[in-house]
Amino acid sequence: MMVATVDNPTFTTSRSDADDVALAANGDRLAFERVYRAHVNRVFAVCARMVADRSLAEELTQDVFVRAWSKLSLYRGESAFTTWLHRLAVNVVLNARKSEGRNRTRFGSEPDEVDTLPHVRASGWTPGLSLDLEAAIAGLPPGARQVFVLHDVEGYKHEEIAEMLGITAGGSKAQLHRARLLLREALNR
């Protein structure tokens, strides 16, 4: 059984990255650009997977880095910078979703009651083909998708997800299980 071989994103911060973060916190825009270039793909990935809309994810990614610039002085180094930035990205996405709740089409108009997903392959699922999984994740109902991305892709714990989404840890577990079952169905169809 083949599994994707892409390196798992690390939560550590390299020495030069830490230096750039410190310089950027003091107003060095060139250093902040280096910070941006080092982290933009990871930030964009979490935005894109959570909203299932690459165009919107690009806007949100810009928002994340603008917010990061204005809040860098508050970063004390208690956690790795990537962890801090990542949490900021998740908060920007979740807040944007709340603010645009009435504009359902941009954040996904599909109801959370969806029981099946559109099939993503004509034949059976070949494990390790991440493009299929990406497509299936994008087809999940918003609530299940957010929990799945935060837990299985990004590695947050249910208690953390519950706090971020304003649900219970049990609710997070239920959404995760539902998401996995929906994904299996979509990938095997």
What distances in angstroms separate CA 111 from CA 17, 114, 129, 177, one per listed residue? 41, 6, 27, 17
Cβ closest to another protein, residue 111 vs residue 155: 155
Biggest CA pair distance of the chain: 54
Tracing tokens 């994340």 back to the chain, one arrives at 64
The distance of closest approach from Cβ of residue 129 to another protein in the complex, given in angstroms and rounded to an integer, is: 9
Identity at 134, one-letter amino acid code: E
The distance of closest approach from Cβ of residue 1 to another protein in the complex, given in angstroms and rounded to an integer, is: 7
With CA atoms as reference, report the closest residue to 24 among 13, 14, 35.
Answer: 35
Dist. CA 72–CA 39, nearest whole Å:
14
The distance of closest approach from Cβ of residue 120 to another protein in the complex, given in angstroms and rounded to an integer, is: 12
The distance of closest approach from Cβ of residue 110 to another protein in the complex, given in angstroms and rounded to an integer, is: 20
Left, alpha or beta for 110 (phi > 0: left; psi -120 to 50: alpha)?
A: beta
Q: Summarize as ranges the residues that interact with another protein (CB under 8 A).
A: 1, 3-6, 8-9, 29, 32-33, 36-37, 40-42, 44-45, 48-49, 54-55, 57-59, 61-63, 65-67, 69-70, 92, 95-96, 99-100, 125, 127-128, 130, 133-134, 137, 148, 152-153, 155, 158, 173-174, 176-177, 180-181, 183-184, 187-188
